[in-house]
Structure 1
Amino acid sequence: MSLTKAIISTMTASFFTSAVVLVAMTAQAQDSKVAAAMELLKSKTSELGPPKIDGTDVVGGKEVPAIYFGSTKMNNNFALVDDVAKQAGGTATIFVKSGDEYVRVATTVKKDDGERAIGTILDPKGKVITFIQKDEAYYGEADILGKHYVTGYDPIRDADNQVIGIYYVGYLK
């Protein structure tokens, strides 16, 4: 009987160890995907030109600053985020800073009704905002409109090094 218990204990320990390793490998793969998608998003915006704010625009029923990369306005322009999402999978967003809020002006993230989540804001009580307010990037898990994602958020800075928005990429968990 003790041999059977020993075998079961060994097998249980092996399964547990394998599960832990598999979870760690999956997390590493997701982290790599997020990093690659963020690099793609930043590269594509860089090709358009430097980021800047120029005037205002209505997005999702809200008047917000108009964010540009070069001469390309991002507000209500989905070509860039759609292209990044198509190439990297997952979701992509450009946020603009509007007062103390960060508003989605171009996104592939969908609301429950299937519409793009433009005009919605970055959760002001979430963990991501604390990093952004300190002018730091955030990579990790985040709740987006009630769904769990593995994400990357990185501040967008203008020519004066002021944070004017946020780059975002993420994968549904």
Structure 2
Amino acid sequence: MEKKKTRGILRKVLIVFAAIMVALTAVLITLSVITTQNTARDTVLEMAFAKMNGDINSATTYLNNAYGGLRLVGGTLVDADGTPIESSFDTIDRISADLGVVATVFVRDGRDFRRIVTSIRDAAGSRVTGTFLGAASAAFAPVTEGRRFIGEASILGAQYVTGYQPLFGENRSVIGILFIGIEMTEVDGLIAAGVGRAVAALVAGALLTLVGALVITAFMIVRVISNPITATAAIAEVLAGGDLTVAVPEGYLKRRDEIGMLARSFEAMTKRLSETVQGINLSATQVAAGSQQMSSTAQQMSQGATEQAAAAEEVSSSMEEMGSNIRQNADNAAQTESIAKKSA
């Protein structure tokens, strides 16, 4: 029964510990997932920015090879042969296919930049040529100043990781822009996949850690708490059966915790019970000896009374015999007196 109780205690402790560990693990996993998402996003964006830097260089090479150098003539971008490149999509589509990006060439149009060839399409599937970059674009200020822009930008309502390379004409004036980009949905997909793998590994590691912690905790509870309680309960059962010779294990007596206190209390209780029982046994022995002595005295007194009764009976018999003799003598004396009177 006690063993079942201690096993019940062990089970309850493990359940409470497991609940706490699961809660803590869930919190840690949640925090780790958030951290991992942020880290993964930063890492993937850095990789995307690095790709944009490399791909914009490759795209520039594609453009130079295809057109042999671009010039702005009368507001129109033309190639080395003077042929306008507007609506010539072969090169831009090749850049998109080979580099896995969307690509666009802008021409300088007043103070803004207009798309003249692009691989970006609208919902209807039409190329979005004729649309403007707009001063609100994150890339507008850098490319206007002749600087490359690598970063996130909004294009026609959609977010992209982008690379904008200014195209220079005479006197290093900016005559157009070469753009490449990756839509953020693709980046988010990469982030989600990376986070998913990280979370799976994290959960697997957390579960293994949790199981290991539970096993170690169960072992420690059995060794440190459950076994001593079971042993102490067994000692209590032996004591309840009247055996005061049972000894508490020395190892439990030396412990400096509650189990040690309990073991020392049991040891002291056992000694006190033993001393009490010894005292009771000694008192019982003394009482038995006194009773035996009283019985012997009573027997002696009974024997004396019997002897006195016999002596009294003997005296009474002698007195009766003397009385009979006296009466006989009296009768004899009376007869003698009567005879004497008759003789006279």
TM-score range, shorter chain: 0.7 to 0.9
- The correspondence for 1:50, drawn from 58, 64, 69, is 69
TM-score, reference length from structure 2:
0.45
Structure 2: distance between partners of 1:22 and 1:129: 28
Bigger shift: residues 124-133 or 87-96: 124-133
- The correspondence for 1:79, drawn from 79, 90, 111, is 90
Match of 1:165 in 2: 176
**Cα–Cα, structure 1 residues 6 and 106, in superposed 2: closer, same or farther, change >3 Å?**
same
Match of 2:103 in 1: 92
Bigger shift: residues 83-92 or 36-45: 36-45
RMSD of aligned Cα (Å): 1.9
Bigger shift: residues 66-75 or 87-96: 66-75
The code of the aligned residue for 1:50 comes to G
Match of 1:121 in 2: 132
Conserved 8 A contact 2:144-2:174: no
TM-score, reference length from structure 1:
0.84
State percent identity of aligned pairs: 24
Structure 1's unaligned 5+ residue stretches are 56-64
The code of the aligned residue for 1:94 comes to V
Equivalences, count: 164
CA positional deviation for 1:25: 2.2
Q: Which has the higher contact order (CA 8 A, sep 6+)?
A: 1
Structure 2's unaligned 5+ residue stretches are 1-15, 185-344
Larger strand share, 1 or 2: 1
Secondary structure class of the residue paired with 1:160: helix
Bigger shift: residues 88-97 or 108-117: 108-117
The code of the aligned residue for 1:100 comes to R
Larger helix share, 1 or 2: 2
Match of 1:104 in 2: 115
Conserved 8 A contact 2:115-2:132: yes
Structure 2: distance between partners of 1:34 and 1:88: 10
Conserved 8 A contact 1:46-1:69: no
CA positional deviation for 1:85: 0.2
Match of 2:238 in 1: none
Structure 2: distance between partners of 1:27 and 1:150: 8
Which structure: larger Rg?
2
Match of 2:221 in 1: none
Match of 1:27 in 2: 45
